[in-house]
Amino acid sequence: MSETPVYPPSPEFVSKANVQGLEAYRELYRRAGERPEEFWGELAEKELFWFQKWSHVFEWNPPFAKWFVGGKTNVCYNCVDRHLSTPRKNKAAIIWEGEPGDQRVITYQELHRLVSRFSSVLKSRGYQAGDRAIIYMPMIPEAAIAMLACARLGITHSVVFGGFSAEALKARILDLGAVIVITADGGWRRGKEVKLKSVVDEALPECPSVRDVIVCRRTGSETGMAAGRDHWWHELDENASEDCPAEPLDSEHPLYVLYTSGTTGQPKGILHTTGGYLLQATMTVKWVFDLHEEDTFWCTADIGWVTGHSYIVYGPLSAGATTLMYEGAPDTPAFDRWWRIVEKYRVNIFYTSPTAIRALLRQGEKWPAAHDLSSLRLLGSVGEPINPAAWEWYYRVIGKEKCPIVDTWWQTETGAIMIAPMPGAVALKPGSGTLPLPGVDADVVDFAGNPVGADQEGFLVIRRPWPAMLRTIWGDGQRYKDQYWNRLPGLYFTGDAARRDADGYIWVLGRVDDVMNVSGHRLSTMEVESALVRHPAVAEAAVVGKPDEITGQAICAFVTLKSGNADHATLAKELRQWVAHEIGGFARPQEIRFSDALPKTRSGKIMRRLLREIVTTHSVSGDVTTLEDMGVVTRLAAQHDEE
Ligand code: PRX
């Protein structure tokens, strides 16, 4: 460990930071730990607007938590309305650039007008608090406007990433019992139209709960409109009232459900509520991204993932920031598109994933070198562990050795960043999320829940509930208990392995369950397996994540066929396409390997561990005593050598 380089913050950065110096961080952490109710209560009062104050800060009926009990607030009001009576009213709330190069700058006042109009549209069609909406949109301002309008009325939204297929969309609509879908004709990605409305059309015939589809015109391509069901956003907007006040909602009102992969084939709807979620999203923007009034903040995530929720929309807008949204791909028209945007809008804070960094690193330094990146003062990373080479490149080539890199560990379930450096306080070690944030009681434990020693590997757990934590899995409280709280009784189980070094720094090592991380996208092996076995030719499938230089992990599927005499090359192509159709393009396996059998235990359980070893090391060295037929493994390992 002694060889790990350490990067303390520069005195200049510290002098302007929101939290200055290690002692200031420690003091916050200590207070949050010793008197959590006082700590969070004071922040909630200072940082958020409440229609009605809570009666008590926290209620814990394990494993169900409530924060700011009895309080009434509104997320949209906090993100928009409250800024109008401040000098922020004419500040850019959203700066947007479309892939073709079109651009919009929306001030807080204008955002208020747009959100109010769309809320009126929803309200006039009879939608109200408690209803559920699906948002299936490209990265255009209307996606954020739709989220905020739902939040304004208390309509619980679920944003479905535009890369998901009709099947995946349908499953989410049904699970949520959504009554309305908000979408667009399409969006632009790598110069091509990604059609969205046609995917909605494919999904809806089997979704009887949906009454209305509102379609935003983005690409202008031909779109069939079902009479009575489908409406153009711009037509409804024509007569919309601009007077649509934010509803005072209970602090625990369901704000959104976001589906993510668990360890089964069925995605889980992670439920986030109102007051606690917003407070922690807001605080982490100030603490971790060290937000200053004049900053332009750019998080490159898609709005369909939790990062887009907390760090494109809710966190930055609540904190009164200027948040930048870009519609398209980083390599369109060329590999300098992101750096061009940084230069053009003088971006100060830039937040992306290690996968993106590695992909851009591979293209060489000439792309960033062609642009003036001197506006940048802070860089962030999220989604997977960042390897030293990517960290070093990010630090040197993008940050010019003057921007701290905040490596932020968190999850869809945690709602907000949990482990990350406060950049004016905590020295960086490349590859470590460093120290937990105030109020986050993180630990690394063994199978029995006992803390492991310094530099020992264990499970990353959180000992105490935090304001932005998930409240349950939508419609499945038992699964919520089993997945997160019953594995190590009384502790929140993150599903990640980690170690803590002698300085208390946490190093997240990756998942310990059957969840893969492909380009920072979470996918369960079972989800891909279930998709594969739905194909008529497939008898059995086992899926593992295989190390990949760019995407972190790539999907490798082992497949046995119902009849052995297929043309493997053609079928492999067909199966990859099949998975893309069943789940979405990002889930397309990189590799399909055919086999006459899969390695199983005597009780019939597929031994994925062995398959993982085969794709990683091309051989098997671990314990195989429970394996039923060793020959299968030998044949699978040999298969690779022939390729
Ligand atoms: O394994 C961890 C990894 O991503 C998982 C959460 O995925 P998801 O819910 O899709 O949210 C991603 C964006 C918050 C975690 O369990 N992960 C996320 N951030 C990091 C990370 N692994 C290492 N370092 C990180 N900074």
* CA neighbor of 407 nearest in space, from 391, 392, 396: 391
Summarised one tens digit per residue, pLDDT across range 372-426 is 999 999 999 999 999 989 999 999 999 999 999 999 999 999 999 999 999 999 9
pLDDT over 90 (residue 513): no
Helix (H, G, I), strand (E, B) or coil at 262: coil
Q: Is the dihedral of CA 585, 586, 592, 596 positive or negative?
A: negative
Structure tokens at 530: 């279930």
List the residue whose alpha carbon is closest to atom 18 of ligand 1: 383
Mean pLDDT, the chain, rounded, equals: 94
List the residue whose alpha carbon is closest to atom 21 of ligand 1: 384
Asked if residue 497 belongs to a domain, the reply is no
CA of 471 to the centre of ligand 1 (A): 19
pLDDT band at residue 638 using 50, 70 and 90 as cut-offs: confident
Would the CB of 185 count as within 6 Å of ligand 1?
A: no
Spatial distance between the Cα atoms of 177 and 247, rounded to a whole number of angstroms: 22
CA of 383 to the centre of ligand 1 (A): 4
Structure tokens at 107: 């001030």
List the residue whose alpha carbon is closest to atom 24 of ligand 1: 385
**DSSP structure class, residue 484:** I
The answer to whether 297 and 322 are in contact (CB under 8 A) is yes
Identity of residue 132: R
What is the pLDDT at residue 273?
98
Spatial distance between the Cα atoms of 635 and 569, rounded to a whole number of angstroms: 19
Q: How many other C-beta atoms are found inside a 10 Å radius of the C-beta of residue 189?
A: 17
Does residue 503 or residue 510 have the better pLDDT?
A: 503
Would the CB of 384 count as within 6 Å of ligand 1?
A: yes
Would the CB of 284 count as within 6 Å of ligand 1?
A: no
Asked if residue 589 belongs to a domain, the reply is yes
User: Virtual CA dihedral for 107, 112, 118, 124, nearest 10 degrees?
Assistant: -160
What is the pLDDT at residue 640?
57
List the residue whose alpha carbon is closest to atom 4 of ligand 1: 383
List the residue whose alpha carbon is closest to atom 12 of ligand 1: 383
Summarised one tens digit per residue, pLDDT across range 44-99 is 999 999 999 999 999 999 999 999 999 999 999 999 999 999 999 999 999 999 99
What is the pLDDT at residue 643?
43
Does residue 569 or residue 514 have the better pLDDT?
A: 569
Would the CB of 302 count as within 6 Å of ligand 1?
A: no
pLDDT band at residue 605 using 50, 70 and 90 as cut-offs: confident
Does residue 633 or residue 157 have the better pLDDT?
A: 157
Asked if residue 229 belongs to a domain, the reply is no
Residues facing 272 on adjacent strands: 256
CA of 516 to the centre of ligand 1 (A): 11
Would the CB of 516 count as within 6 Å of ligand 1?
A: no
CA of 81 to the centre of ligand 1 (A): 32
CA of 410 to the centre of ligand 1 (A): 5
The answer to which of 123-127, 341-345, 605-609 has the lowest mean pLDDT is 605-609
- Please state the pTM of the whole predicted model: 0.93
For tokens 């009554």, the residue is 179
List the residue whose alpha carbon is closest to atom 15 of ligand 1: 411
CA of 517 to the centre of ligand 1 (A): 8
Does residue 258 or residue 517 have the better pLDDT?
A: 258
CA of 411 to the centre of ligand 1 (A): 5
Asked if residue 570 belongs to a domain, the reply is yes
pLDDT over 70 (residue 561): yes
Would the CB of 495 count as within 6 Å of ligand 1?
A: yes
Structure tokens at 43: 């922040």
Summarised one tens digit per residue, pLDDT across range 225-254 is 999 999 999 999 999 999 999 999 999 999
The Cα-based distances of 366 to 228, 369, 370, 403, 497 in angstroms read 53, 5, 6, 20, 37
Asked if residue 628 belongs to a domain, the reply is yes
Asked if residue 244 belongs to a domain, the reply is no
Query: Which CATH number do you get for residue 617?
Result: 3.30.300.30
Summarised one tens digit per residue, pLDDT across range 106-165 is 999 999 999 999 999 999 999 999 999 999 999 999 999 999 999 999 999 999 999 999
Q: What is the domain extent for residue 578?
A: 519-642
Does residue 632 or residue 483 have the better pLDDT?
A: 483
Asked if residue 623 belongs to a domain, the reply is yes
For residue 494, which atom of ligand 1 is closest to its CA?
A: 16
Q: How many domains does the chain have?
A: 1
Residue 453 main-chain phi, psi, to 5 deg: -75, 175
Asked if residue 300 belongs to a domain, the reply is no
CA of 344 to the centre of ligand 1 (A): 30
CA of 479 to the centre of ligand 1 (A): 20
pLDDT over 80 (residue 628): no
Would the CB of 412 count as within 6 Å of ligand 1?
A: yes
Q: Is the dihedral of CA 189, 193, 197, 201 positive or negative?
A: negative
Spatial distance between the Cα atoms of 529 and 514, rounded to a whole number of angstroms: 11
What is the pLDDT at residue 174?
96
Helix (H, G, I), strand (E, B) or coil at 218: coil
